[in-house]
Amino acid sequence: MMSPQWRETFKLWAQTAEYAQHLQNARERIENALVRSSQPYVSYSGGKDSTVMMHLVLQQAPDATVWHWYYGKYFVPEDIEAQVIAIAESMNAMLAVETSERYDIEKRDAMNIWGHEFFTRVAPRMVAEGYDRAFIGIRAEESLRRKRRVRARRNTTAIQETWPLEDWRWQDVWAYIVQHNLPYLEMYDAQSELVGYQHSRFSTFFDPQFIHIGTDTVDNVLHWRWRNVD
């Protein structure tokens, strides 16, 4: 549970002019994108950024499809996945969940299945189905790679992308969650005690792709219950 001090901090941040500007920018981006699209979808991971973005988009387009990729029980524990689904359902999202059977076959040896499946199977099918706009919750602040992607306005598929939170900072995201009393994954609070709210992020657990940045030690200590999935 978020401490009262942090909650108060984010409430105060929600009163700043910077936050108000970022919120207005996000709403305008969504509005402009919806005017120019007939069949949008929201890309939703379950993390804090996509939760906030989903809430913002559904206020203007309640019928938009919310698309979610499930990484399988070896990378996302089943009870966390259940929370991810519950958060989307609490916002009455029209949720479409996809996954790959390769996760159960390759288990923790699976590498970049999402990338392969999304670009070769899912995205072409979505184009064929008429989707013409993707709302994606990336922020330039998150990494240099994302900063460059935002600056270059680079789409990753044939579907035009909109990044409503592109100029948001981590404080804006938490301020929005606190201000609107949005549900979020419980793991954020435990992780934030260790690394701080500015560094806490939701990604796959015990994923060999992220060992080089040291996520395995944090997972081993914080998420030990999910270390040995049957």
Nearest-approach distance from CB 199 to another protein, in angstroms: 9
Identify the residue whose tokens are 């519950």: 86
| Token pair in block for residue 43 | 């890309």
221 binding another protein? (CB under 8 A): yes
The site for another protein, by CB under 8 A, has a size of: 17
Give the list of residues 6+ apart from residue 56 with CB closer than 8 angstroms, or none.
26, 27, 30, 164
97-103 long-range contacts, CB within 8 A, separation 24+? 97/68, 97/69, 97/70, 98/67, 98/68, 98/69, 98/70, 98/122, 99/69, 99/70, 99/71, 99/72, 100/72, 103/71, 103/72, 103/73, 103/74, 103/75
5 binding another protein? (CB under 8 A): no
Decide whether 78 or 89 has the Cβ nearer to another protein: 78
Report how far residue 24's alpha carbon sits from residue 66's, in angstroms, rounded to the nearest whole number.
22
214 binding another protein? (CB under 8 A): yes
Only segment of 5-13, 34-42, 166-174, 192-200 that touches another protein (CB under 8 A): 192-200
Only segment of 55-63, 141-149, 179-187, 214-222 that touches another protein (CB under 8 A): 214-222
Nearest-approach distance from CB 79 to another protein, in angstroms: 13
Only segment of 55-63, 88-96, 154-162, 219-227 that touches another protein (CB under 8 A): 219-227
Only segment of 7-15, 40-48, 128-136, 218-226 that touches another protein (CB under 8 A): 218-226
The rounded Cα 48 to chain-centroid distance in angstroms is 6
- The DSSP 8-state label assigned to residue 75 in this structure reads T
194 binding another protein? (CB under 8 A): yes
Backbone phi and psi for residue 11, each to the nearest 5 degrees, phi listed first:
-65, -40
8 binding another protein? (CB under 8 A): no
Decide whether 112 or 228 has the Cβ nearer to another protein: 228
Chain residues binding another protein by CB under 8 A are 193-195, 213-215, 217-218, 220-222, 224-225, 227-230
